[in-house]
């Protein structure tokens, strides 16, 4: 059994034991919330270890990828293809969520049970205006951007830095070789950090179940089942579109994405899976200069699962309050979400923040967010795994378009 298979197996074991432990803690402990807080320390430690890796890994791999492409024309060509794919995937994800929520109408079951007064959901909705997004796009200090793990800002700086390195040619060779060394070291560090992944998965699931109980799954069972059905449909669409370009190799890609997707699902964090996704793509045959260019941009612009959830959840809340949104309003909302969802990867509880901001713009009570807070962890698990799959397929397709695909490498 290779390392990838072992990690996947251990994560699954951690997930199963976490569910059992959480249930036992919830039903037997006098203070299950205290147990959940203790478990949260383990999860937080793991996610901080991952975040420790992200900035140097994204910067070093992206700069090297751009510098190896050579001229600005190649960078621009790949960038246009990448953003074109991301736009189509975004429209597809948002549209699917909108169609399914109108077919299933999950909010109707809560009609008449919602409080008329709007409670606060404790989310900073004002931070996602278009003006703030544009000004937030460019870092005032790259050191500050890296310290806060603002992936979008790191990407912007890396684009300029890598393009400048390519422009000056041989004078930058020593620097690029040094950054390649940094990238390899960070991938080795990733291997060390990943040894803690099964424990983090166990702690995340055990803590959530201990605090909320298994009842949280059954209370919103129908909503969760319909959302997970939508996620399954989105996976099928993404894989089908990937098949059109990659043919049978798309299934080998899904095999490589299995471990990072499971990690993202278990920890409810796309960010946690970034290093393993990059490794999996390179094993699949995507050349480093494409993988290290497309993937970081995808983490800001191509969050397919999160975008589908945004339309699904927003209309769900409107339905729960008996607010009927016209087709025009829903299409306008989709356009708003297309903009406000970009760059959400660096925002804590990102999808909830985006939804809360959207609710206010369409006069839907923000108190509706409270409907989702109890089960958001379980919904975020599906969103995060889908984001990984969507970015994996996008990167492989762009590599295919560019003729930057090698035969698959043997797994270690």
Q: How far apart are CA 13 and CA 214, in angstroms?
A: 18
pTM: 0.74
Interhelix angle for 249-267 vs 197-212, to 10°?
50
**CA pseudo-torsion sign 238, 150, 272, 296:** positive
Cα–Cα distance between 221 and 208 in angstroms, integer?
16
Other Cβ atoms less than 10 A from the Cβ of 194: the count is: 23
Which residues make Cβ contacts (< 8 Å) with residue 6, sequence separation at least 6? none
Residue of 7, 172, 159 whose CA lies nearest to 82: 159
**pLDDT at site 77:** 87
Tokens coding 328? 């025009």
| Residue 222: strand, helix, or coil | helix
Cα of first residue to Cα of last residue in the chain, in angstroms, is 10
Distance between CA atoms of residues 212 and 228, nearest Å? 20
Annotate 332-386 with DSSP letters as a single string: HHHHHHHHHTTTGGGSTTHHHHHHHHHHHHTT--GGGGHHHHTTHHHHHHHHHHH
Spell out the long-range contacts of 78-85 with Cβ–Cβ below 8 A and sequence spacing 24 or more. Answer: 78/290, 78/293, 78/294, 78/398, 78/402, 79/297, 81/398, 81/401, 81/402, 82/293, 82/294, 82/297, 82/298, 82/394, 82/398, 83/297, 83/301, 85/302, 85/394, 85/397, 85/398
CA-to-CA dists, residue 129 to 93, 101, 125, 329, 334, angstroms: 22, 25, 8, 19, 15
Chunked into runs of 10 residues, the chain (412 residues) has average pLDDT values of 71 87 91 89 84 84 78 79 91 95 86 48 48 72 84 82 86 90 85 85 85 70 90 96 94 94 87 89 91 85 88 90 89 80 54 73 76 75 93 95 83 48
Q: CA 331, CA 308: separation in Å to the nearest integer? A: 14
């Amino acid at each position: 059994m290779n390392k990838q298979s072992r990690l996947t197996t251990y994560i699954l074991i951690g997930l199963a034991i976490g569910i059992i432990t959480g249930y036992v803690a919830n039903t037997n402990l006098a203070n299950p919330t205290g147990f959940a807080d203790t478990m949260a320390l383990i999860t937080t430690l793991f996610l901080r270890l991952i975040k420790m890796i992200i900035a140097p890994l994204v910067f070093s791999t992206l700069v090297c990828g751009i510098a190896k492409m050579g001229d600005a024309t190649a960078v621009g060509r790949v960038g246009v293809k990448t953003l074109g794919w991301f736009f189509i995937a975004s429209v597809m994800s948002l549209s699917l969520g909108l169609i399914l929520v109108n077919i299933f109408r999950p909010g109707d079951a809560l009609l008449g049970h919602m409080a008329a007064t709007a409670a606060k959901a404790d989310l900073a909705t004002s931070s996602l205006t278009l003006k703030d997004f544009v000004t937030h796009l460019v870092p005032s200090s790259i050191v500050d951007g890296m310290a806060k793990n603002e992936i979008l800002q790191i990407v912007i700086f890396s684009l300029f830095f890598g393009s400048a390195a390519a422009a000056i040619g041989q004078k930058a060779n020593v620097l690029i070789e040094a950054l390649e060394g940094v990238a390899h070291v960070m991938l080795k560090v990733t291997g060390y950090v990943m040894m803690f992944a099964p424990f983090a998965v166990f702690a995340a699931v055990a803590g959530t179940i201990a605090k909320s109980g298994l009842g949280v799954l059954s209370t919103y069972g129908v909503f969760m089942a319909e959302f997970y059905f939508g996620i399954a449909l989105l996976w099928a669409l993404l894989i089908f579109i990937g098949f059109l370009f990659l043919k049978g190799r798309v299934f080998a890609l899904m095999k490589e994405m299995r471990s990072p997707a499971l990690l993202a699902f278990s920890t409810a964090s796309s960010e946690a899976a970034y290093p393993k996704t990059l490794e999996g793509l390179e094993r699949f045959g995507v050349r480093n200069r494409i993988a290290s260019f497309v993937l970081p941009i995808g983490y800001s612009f191509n969050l397919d699962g999160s975008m589908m959830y945004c339309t699904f959840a927003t209309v769900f809340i409107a339905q729960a309050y008996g607010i009927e949104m016209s087709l025009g309003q829903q299409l306008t909302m989709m356009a708003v979400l297309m903009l406000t969802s970009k760059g959400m990867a660096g925002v804590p509880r990102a999808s909830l923040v985006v939804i809360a901001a959207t609710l206010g713009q369409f006069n839907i009570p923000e108190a509706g967010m409270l409907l989702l807070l109890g089960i958001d962890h379980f919904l975020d698990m599906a969103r995060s795994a889908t984001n990984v799959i969507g970015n994996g397929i996008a990167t492989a397709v762009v590599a295919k378009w560019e003729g930057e695909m090698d035969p698959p490498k043997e797994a270690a």
